[in-house]
């Protein structure tokens, strides 16, 4: 907070603050917009803030121009051309979203006098560095806590650390056995091939055979250890991959609808599949070799020191330069792989949409357009990947060359030492053979940033899902049960954002076993009210009770076992008709499945299918008509045998004759159950016990069909409008 604005501790939580980055002359600055106590404070570059009271102000407006936007106060009597508006600040397009949310908060206050906050997940800018969050991610890859990543990684691999350590020790043993071979190579050259002691030929041949045999045994033993290590590592790899996917899939199932709406299907699929694979690969491969590289480096370094300390220092001379270069490149690599991840996620999302909406695409004949769009995204991804590979292909050879400078120094100074008689040829051979062993860990380290960049990016995205807090405000009692009774809304208010209220002061009583019809214009709040009954969202204030019990005290799993819903947009799983109906109650008897289908008037067309109830209907029932899909969905709800039944345009896709038979079936189904039904064809709700008209988030009218017609209000106008439309259609 700017110290020039006095903010009491109890007011700090209500102070809404966003950043802007342009002055009135379009120069970059560090600016802050604050809203507190009904006033707006504007400050830039630490200057004394300007204060604007909202008295006599009609609204706060965000205007977008070419390359920048402005925030302006509009007085109540302002001219239509906005010439009387008061300019508060300018900002670049990167700040559009957060400033827009700020305007909504202020305008909500102007309209209602209620102070609200901007939800943290709405601001798509890092509060530390000011960078925009990548699409689909609520974490800044530059400012994320490294300790947080390490702690979570440790907790992830903790169950496997013992097995991974054992596999790592096996491969370390294999490397150490291989590292002994150059010693015997030197012995072979110095003692037997040069034969300075003048041994007889038989003794030389026996010595050569013994040395070569020992070398073969060492290499064979090393290979056996590597095979065992790889087998164990593969088992660990599969187990870790399975655990990661299971954890992510389980968490995705429990994400709130609000959270799911912020992420694309392709994004979520990529996190469950490719990101888990990258993490698995890094932990089981790089983690497996980390200990081996460290121990091998120390062991070989000790051997080299014993042979020639001077040459050893020459070998390691370029290492500090290489490490510094890797440190410099790390930031660039991380940015590049984050950009590649976003491109891949976008390609996956578009591919998912194309596959899912193929019928719409073909019906509009837009195949070429979709192919062009997907091709453009693939080309963009290709360009990003090529640039990343080109960057790495340019950097890595330089790093390799720098690291190899020590080898050139060893050959030069070691050769001079042999010529001068200070070193034997076998020793130089041994030293040069060990160069590969000591450079291998260093080269491994030089390639680590590339793999670490992918690993860190994927890991952050996985943990973002796993660590997401549920939005439910339930106070669940594990022993609580949903007992049939009246459903009551008491002063319920709800908005998907606190300053965008959808439902306002909802008070209604639905008697047990009665059918409640919800009527109103599109966007009035009918579906939102249904979502609250289903507990897909929780009220911002007020309470919803069933038989006098707050539904938040009932565990969601138990609560939803007693509810059933038929949505306007039906969804069927890939599988048989039988499986889709039985989804509502696994283990149901075939006779119950058939009875449910008959109640939904679906049995007849099901029996006409090639394999009857065993007919595979494909993804989302694409080989069925809309009415057939909807009747299967209704049969699924019938089989559920719920206490609370929700019908959201349940008969919208049926012909009049079938609709009438379904209405007859539903009239039997709703007996003893509290039913909420939404229908835009008002004739289908005329037999409802109570009709509730919702207008702009409030209950405008309540009564039966006849009572509401007699009032000649909103409902009557809706009925007359539909009758006129029907006449024109005929």
pLDDT tens readout for residues 213-242: 888 888 888 889 888 888 888 888 888 888
- pLDDT score of 7: 39
- pLDDT score of 139: 67
* Residue 132 scores a pLDDT above 50: yes
* Residue 494 scores a pLDDT above 60: yes
Q: Give tens-digit pLDDT for 606-628.
A: 898 888 899 888 766 777 877 78
Angle at 96 between CA 95 and CA 101, to 5 degrees: 105
> What mean pLDDT do residues 56-73 have?
83
- pLDDT score of 3: 37
Q: At 159, is the pLDDT very low, low, confident or very high (cuts 50, 70, 90)?
A: confident
> Is the pLDDT higher at 659 or at 45?
45
Q: At 66, is the pLDDT very low, low, confident or very high (cuts 50, 70, 90)?
A: low
* Residue 383 scores a pLDDT above 50: yes
Shortest CA distance to 175 belongs to which of 56, 298, 53, 319?
298
Q: Residue 179's CB: how many other CB atoms inside 10 A?
A: 20
Q: Give tens-digit pLDDT for 463-478.
A: 878 877 765 555 656 6
Q: Give tens-digit pLDDT for 550-566.
A: 888 888 888 888 888 88
Mean pLDDT: which of 148-152, 322-326, 569-573 is highest? Answer: 569-573
- pLDDT score of 470: 61
Mean pLDDT: which of 217-226, 290-299, 669-678 is highest? Answer: 217-226
- List of domains in the chain: 9-122 (2.30.29), 146-466 (1.20.1560.10), 476-562+676-730 (3.40.50.300)
- pLDDT score of 5: 41
Q: Which of 179-193, 425-439, 466-480, 587-601 has the lowest mean pLDDT?
A: 466-480
- pLDDT score of 1: 35
Walk across the sheet containing 500-510 and list its strands.
Answer: 500-510, 487-497, 541-546, 549-550
Residue 485, SS3 per DSSP = coil
Mean pLDDT rounded to a whole number for the chain: 78
Its pTM surpasses 0.75 = no
- pLDDT score of 489: 92
* Residue 399 scores a pLDDT above 80: no
Q: At 655, is the pLDDT very low, low, confident or very high (cuts 50, 70, 90)?
A: low
* Residue 50 scores a pLDDT above 80: yes
* Residue 684 scores a pLDDT above 60: yes
Contact indicator for 288, 171 with CB cutoff of 8 Å: yes
* Residue 134 scores a pLDDT above 80: no
Q: How far apart are CA 540 and CA 497, in angstroms?
A: 10
Shortest CA distance to 521 belongs to which of 713, 701, 718?
718
216 by Cβ neighbours in 10 Å (0-12 / 13-18 / 19+) ranks as exposed
Shortest CA distance to 114 belongs to which of 668, 505, 399, 393?
505
Hunting for tokens 């996620």 — which residue is that?
345
* Residue 498 scores a pLDDT above 70: no
Hunting for tokens 């807090």 — which residue is that?
469
- 31: which residues sit within 8 A by CB, 6+ positions away? 19, 20, 21, 22, 23, 42, 43, 44, 45, 89, 91
Q: How far apart are CA 332 and CA 327, in angstroms?
A: 10
> Is the pLDDT higher at 445 or at 412?
412
Mean pLDDT: which of 80-94, 628-642, 713-727 is highest? Answer: 628-642
* CB crowding 527-549: b at 16 or more within 10 Å, else e: bbbbbbbbbbbbbbebebbbeeb
- pLDDT score of 584: 87
- pLDDT score of 478: 63
- 689: which residues sit within 8 A by CB, 6+ positions away? 511, 514, 515, 516, 704
Q: How far apart are CA 556 and CA 474, in angstroms?
A: 8
Q: Give tens-digit pLDDT for 571-603.
A: 888 788 898 899 888 888 989 899 888 888 888
> What mean pLDDT do residues 439-468 have?
75
> What mean pLDDT do residues 8-18 have?
59
């Amino acid at each position: 907070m700017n110290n020039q604005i006095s903010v009491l501790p109890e007011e700090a939580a209500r102070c809404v603050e966003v950043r802007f980055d342009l002055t009135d002359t379009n120069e970059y600055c560090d600016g802050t917009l604050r809203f507190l106590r009904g006033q707006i404070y504007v400050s830039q570059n630490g200057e004394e803030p300007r204060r604007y009271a909202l008295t006599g102000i009609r609204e706060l407006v965000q205007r977008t121009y070419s390359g920048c936007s402005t925030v302006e106060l509009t007085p109540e009597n302002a001219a239509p051309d906005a010439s009387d508006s008061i300019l508060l600040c300018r900002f670049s397009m990167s700040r559009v979203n957060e400033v827009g949310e700020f305007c909504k908060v202020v305008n909500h206050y102007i309209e209602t006098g209620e102070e609200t906050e901007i939800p943290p997940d709405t601001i798509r800018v890092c509060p530390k560095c000011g960078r925009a969050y990548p699409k689909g991610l609520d974490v800044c890859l530059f400012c994320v806590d490294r300790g947080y990543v390490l702690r979570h990684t440790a907790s992830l691999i903790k169950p496997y650390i013992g097995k991974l350590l054992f596999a790592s020790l096996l491969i370390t043993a294999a490397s150490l056995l291989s590292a002994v071979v150059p010693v015997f190579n030197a012995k072979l050259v110095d003692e037997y091939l040069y034969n300075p002691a003048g041994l007889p030929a038989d003794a030389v041949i026996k010595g050569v055979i013994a040395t070569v045999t020992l070398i073969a045994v060492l290499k064979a033993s090393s290979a056996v250890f590597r095979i065992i290590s790889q087998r164990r590592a593969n088992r660990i790899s599969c187990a870790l991959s399975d655990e990661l996917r299971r954890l992510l899939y389980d968490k995705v199932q429990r994400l709130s609808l609000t959270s799911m709406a912020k992420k694309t299907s392709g994004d979520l699929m990529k996190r469950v599949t490719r990101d888990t694979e990258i993490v698995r690969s890094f932990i089981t491969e790089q983690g497996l070799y980390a200990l081996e590289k460290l121990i091998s480096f120390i062991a070989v370094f000790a051997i080299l020191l014993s042979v020639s300390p001077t040459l050893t220092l020459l070998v390691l001379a370029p290492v500090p330069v290489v490490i510094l270069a890797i440190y410099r490149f790390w930031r660039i690599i991380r940015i590049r792989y984050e950009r590649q991840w976003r491109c891949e996620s976008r390609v996956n999302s578009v591919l998912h949409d194309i596959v899912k909406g193929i019928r719409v695409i073909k019906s509009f004949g837009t195949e070429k357009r979709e192919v062009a769009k997907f091709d453009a995204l693939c080309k963009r991804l290709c360009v990003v990947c090529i640039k990343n590979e080109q960057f790495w292909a340019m950097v890595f050879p330089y790093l390799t060359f720098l690291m190899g400078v020590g080898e050139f120094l060893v050959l030069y100074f070691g050769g001079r030492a042999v010529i001068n008689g200070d070193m034997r040829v076998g020793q130089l051979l041994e030293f040069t053979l060990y160069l590969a062993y000591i450079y291998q860990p260093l080269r491994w380290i030089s390639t680590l940033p590339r793999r670490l960049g992918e690993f860190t990016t994927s890991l952050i995205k996985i943990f973002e899902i796993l660590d997401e807090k549920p939005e439910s405000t339930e106070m669940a009692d594990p022993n609580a049960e949903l007992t049939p009774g009246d459903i009551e809304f008491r002063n319920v208010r709800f908005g998907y954002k606190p300053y965008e209220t959808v439902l306002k002061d909802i008070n209604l009583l639905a008697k047990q076993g009665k059918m409640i019809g919800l009527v109103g214009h599109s966007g009035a709040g009918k579906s939102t009210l249904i979502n609250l009954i289903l507990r897909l969202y929780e009220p911002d204030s007020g309470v919803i009770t069933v038989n006098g019990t707050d539904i938040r005290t009932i565990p969601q799993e138990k609560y939803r076992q007693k509810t059933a819903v038929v949505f306007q947009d039906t969804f069927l799983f890939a599988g048989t008709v039988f499986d889709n109906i039985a989804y509502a109650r696994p283990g149901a008897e075939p006779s119950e499945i058939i009875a449910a289908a008959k109640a939904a008037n679906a049995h007849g067309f099901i029996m006409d299918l090639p394999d009857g109830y065993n007919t595979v209907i494909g993804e989302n029932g694409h080989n069925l008509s809309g009415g057939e899909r909807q009747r299967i969905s209704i049969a699924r709800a019938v089989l559920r045998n719920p206490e609370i039944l929700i019908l959201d345009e349940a008969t919208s896709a049926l012909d009049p004759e079938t609709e009438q038979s379904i209405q007859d079936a539903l009239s039997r189904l709703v007996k003893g159950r509290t039913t909420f039904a939404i229908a835009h064809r008002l004739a289908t709700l005329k037999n409802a016990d109570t009709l509730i008209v919702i207008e702009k988030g409030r209950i405008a009218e309540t009564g039966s069909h006849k009572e509401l017609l007699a009032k000649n209000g909103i409902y009557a106008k809706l009925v007359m409008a539909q009758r006129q439309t029907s006449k024109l259609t005929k």
